[in-house]
Every structure is written in structure tokens, then in C-alpha cells.
Amino acid sequence: MSGVAAIPAPDRGWIGVSGDSEVARGPDLHDIIGRRADVVVGVPTAEVSTFAVALPPTEPSLHANMIFAQAEKRGLVNSADGEALVDYELIGNDPEGDTFAVTVMPPPAPELIDKAAAGYTTSAWLRSAPTGGCSLWKEHGRLVFGVYHGQIPIHVQVLSGSGDPDKAAAREISLTLLGLRGDPALSGHLPTEMDFCVPDVSPDVLQEFSEALDIPVTQRVNANAVTRRVEGRPGLLPHTVTESRRKRKTGRRVVLGLLALLVAYIVGVSWLWVDARKKSEKIESMERQLSIIEPDVQRVQQVEQRWKALEPAFEKDFFPLVQLSRITSALPGSGVVVREYRTSGRDIRITGQARDVQLANQLLDDLQAMKEFERYQWSMPNPKVEKNNTATFIISGEPKNAGSDS
């Protein structure tokens, strides 16, 4: 046996059950859980909706969205109440499609939330499977009727009567079974016998109830027996519990991470302390070597700067006349006149006048496309349009590596 099931008591409060034995009882769910870490909460039937649905053949990845749509169609998902929990289980498949048992749980009331719970499911899931396909039990003073496929509840409802297993309750169950016969999702899953799990019922009342029902009734001695494996349904775990577990897990990771960092810090400090004396001498030696070669480094930098300043004098691509010749070759056949060509070091400044702005932009594009000027970055502010509609422009060029060299 694994874990304890917390199920609603027949009258009021909660019962903690382990197998066939009652291990705890109290007015609140928190009394059952206490400090235990193995309690699975069985949400009362009045708080959930259970139904069966048949889906056409489709990709398994689409089942969740299709089942959620079925819950919306039945009015079981209300966005105003928050995010409802939808859980499902496959109960049959054939060439015509798949059949699922679906449980929908709206955001549970605060009294049903306990962050220490091992898991959440429904009371119907926790109860022992009936031998004849359906079962009748009592929760918080109300009769509950459940239809099962093996261990899986496929239709569970709270009866509307007084809470006593009388003729009215039997007639309501018979009408329910009659309605379920027309549900294609329940084809082949209708019960043939009822497990009667209501405690403290006299033989006369049981006989009267059995005679008013359309299927045989068998009384079970242990009305609160639960399944041999007590486990929660992941799809029914409340969001507040999920978030609490996530925070606890994150907190543990943070603590472990801080401890690891502390250990690494202590080890690192110890190693640095041991190694500091050796490195101190090495650092002093390197500083002395740097002080010796520093004048040579400064001289090399000064020579480099002088060579850059002289570069236009011996690098053909920077000869002013060569550059001017290339600029002239880039001019269109007519419509553009260069008024001034000026160089400063390796920078170029061209002032001119074009018949219109388009020709000035064309000259800029031609300069940018010239292979001879591929080492240059060209730019031009918006040309100034004169009264005679001509455009005065200024084009500037500088080596692309000017910023990195400076």
C-alpha cells in the first residue's frame, strides 16, 4: 500500500484511509494531512464534473485541445472563475475513434488547498472499483452515484435527493442510466450491477431501494475502501500547489548553488593565499621588465604615427593627383561640376554642383562602387538646392580603418 487517501466523510469532515483501514478523521482537510507528505486529496464529487467523450481518429497531440473544447461546449470551463483543470484518461479505441473519461475541476476553494499534499485527484478515482460497473456512496451528507470502466470513473454525479437511499434516489439513478444509454461514448460501458457503499443503512431501506432500481444491488461491508495504489492525477494539481512546489524547488536549487559557491570561494581563497607569495615575486619581475621596455614601446608608437602621416606621400592610392583622376573618371558625362577638391592627410573633401540632386547622389554611388576607392568610406549630407534648381553638394571620404588606426 502506498500513501494515504483523504476522502470526504459520509456525514461531514474528512477521513484518512489507507487500504481498508481508517487512519485519521477530522473536520478539515488540513487535519488529515498535518505533517504527512504522502496524503493524496480526493476532491469531493460536488466540486468536479466527470463525463465520457468519443473523439474521431486524430493525432494524439490534438487530444488535449479537443477535450478542452468539449468541456467548454458543456459549459464546464468559465474564464471568469480562473483557469479550470482538465484531466482525461483513454478508456477505449477502435477504427471509429478514441473514447476518454474526462474530469473538469474549476479553481478549488481555499479550504481544499494544502500545499503539503502529495497530490490531487477526485474521490471517485480513489475509491475501489465496483465489481458490477457502478457504485453508490455518500459524501458530506449527499448520495453520489458513479459509473466506472474498470478503475476509471466515467460518469459521477451527486444525487438531488435528501441524502437517503430511498425510492426517489433509485428512480433518479434509473433515469440517469436510461439517459446514459443514448450516449455513444458510453456504448459498452453501462453497468450491470451496483456496489452499495452507503454506511449505516437498515436492511428494510436497502431492500426498498434495491426493488426500485433496475439493476441488482450488492452491499459492501467496507464502504470507505480505496484503491490499492493511492496516487494523484497530474492534470488535477491546483495551480497554487504547482507554483508553491516550483518555488520550493527553486529555493532548494538556490541554496545548493549558494553552498557550492561558498565552498568554491573558500577553496579559491585558500589556493590564492598559498599561491600569492609565489606570484608576488613574478609580478614584480614582470613590472621591472615592463619598465625597461616601455621607452622602446613609446618610440615604436611614435615611428608608427610618423609613418601614417607620411603614408600619402608614398602610397599611390593616397596620391592627391591619382585620387582626383579617379574622381574625375567617376563623373557623369554632363551635369556635374567639381568646384573644389581638397585632401587633408588621407581624408578627401569634394565640393561641387550638379544639375539636380539625383546626379549628386549618383556620383556618391559611383564613388562607393569604385574598386580603386574600396578602402574609403564615403558620405554626403543632403545637397542644397539653389534657386536655379541646381544642387550644391559636399562629399567626404575617409579610410575605413581610420577609426581603428587613430
Both 194 and 99 in a single domain? yes
3-state secondary structure of 322: helix
- Lookup result for grid cell 452507503: 198
Both 61 and 136 in a single domain? yes
Query: What angle do helix axes 357-369 and 320-330 make, rounded to 10 degrees?
Result: 120
Both 9 and 63 in a single domain? yes
- Lookup result for grid cell 615604436: 300
User: What are 10-31's pLDDT values in tens digits?
Assistant: 988 999 988 778 888 899 999 8
User: What are 251-290's pLDDT values in tens digits?
Assistant: 778 888 888 888 888 888 888 888 887 887 888 888 888 7
**Of 183, 209, 237, the domain-final residue:** 237
Both 242 and 328 in a single domain? no
Both 297 and 372 in a single domain? no
Cα dihedral sign, 329-331-332-335? negative
Both 180 and 302 in a single domain? no
Domain that holds residue 286: 238-310
In the chain, the number of structural domains is 3
**Of 237, 269, 288, the domain-final residue:** 237
Both 78 and 169 in a single domain? yes
Alpha carbons within 13 angstroms on the beta-carbon side of residue 159 total: 28
User: What are 61-107's pLDDT values in tens digits?
Assistant: 999 999 999 898 888 887 555 578 999 999 888 888 899 999 999 88
Both 10 and 107 in a single domain? yes
User: What CATH code is carried by the domain that includes residue 400?
Assistant: 3.30.1360.100
User: What CATH code is carried by the domain that includes residue 127?
Assistant: 3.30.420.40
Among candidates 131, 161, 160, 134, which has minimal Cα distance to 145?
Answer: 134
**Of 310, 338, 356, the domain-final residue:** 310
Both 215 and 255 in a single domain? no
What's the chain's Rg over C-alpha atoms?
A: 43
Top-confidence residue, 242 or 152: 152
Q: What is the pTM of this model?
A: 0.59
Provide the pLDDT for residue 405. 46
